[in-house]
Amino acid sequence: MKTDHLTSTFMALRQRLHRSALAYLKDDDDARDALQDTFERLWKSGDMESDSEASSKLFVALKNVCIDRIRRKRSVAMEEAHLVSMKIEPSSGEDMERLESLLTAGLTQVQKHIYSLSVHYSMDYKDIAERLNMTEGAIRTQMCRVRKKISDNYKILDR
């Protein structure tokens, strides 16, 4: 039987990895997402020869994922600053596509895709989950984050 060093090491170090991600990101949801992304990256990269190799790669990959997320947050913050400077004045010929793009600024590609399928194609979460090969719970979680981001962007535009 083949030993899966990555999974066993990940499970053993999960709490330490979570605390490390939390120290970087300062948000529990982001830290959990970073853990998931880290495991997925390493899972796709192939088998580990030993538990020590898996351990070191987990911490290095987690650090890189956290740094990527921090950089993404900074670019989103810059987009939000741009949104504030682009107040939308109500007009009779308001461009709905432009408004939607301003409201959905800062969403990940997956979130934009889920949002589009839900809003533009009126698909329910079950159908979206099947189409994207995700769980229905994951779709619900992503849509919750999408609605929060759109609400935050609306508040910025409404100032």
Query: How far is Cα of residue 75 from the mean position of the Cα atoms in its chain?
Result: 14
> In this predicted structure, what is the pLDDT of residue 153?
82
> In this predicted structure, what is the pLDDT of residue 85?
55
Question: Alpha-carbon distance 159 to 124, whole Å?
Answer: 33
Q: Grade residue 2 by pLDDT with cuts at 50, 70 and 90.
A: very low
CA dist list (Å): 87 to 24, 80, 127, 146: 33, 11, 36, 21
Question: Alpha-carbon distance 61 to 110, whole Å?
Answer: 21
CA dist list (Å): 89 to 85, 102, 150: 12, 13, 18
> In this predicted structure, what is the pLDDT of residue 14?
93
pLDDT of residue 74 exceeding 80: no
> In this predicted structure, what is the pLDDT of residue 18?
92
- E strand or H helix at 113, and its extent? helix 109-119
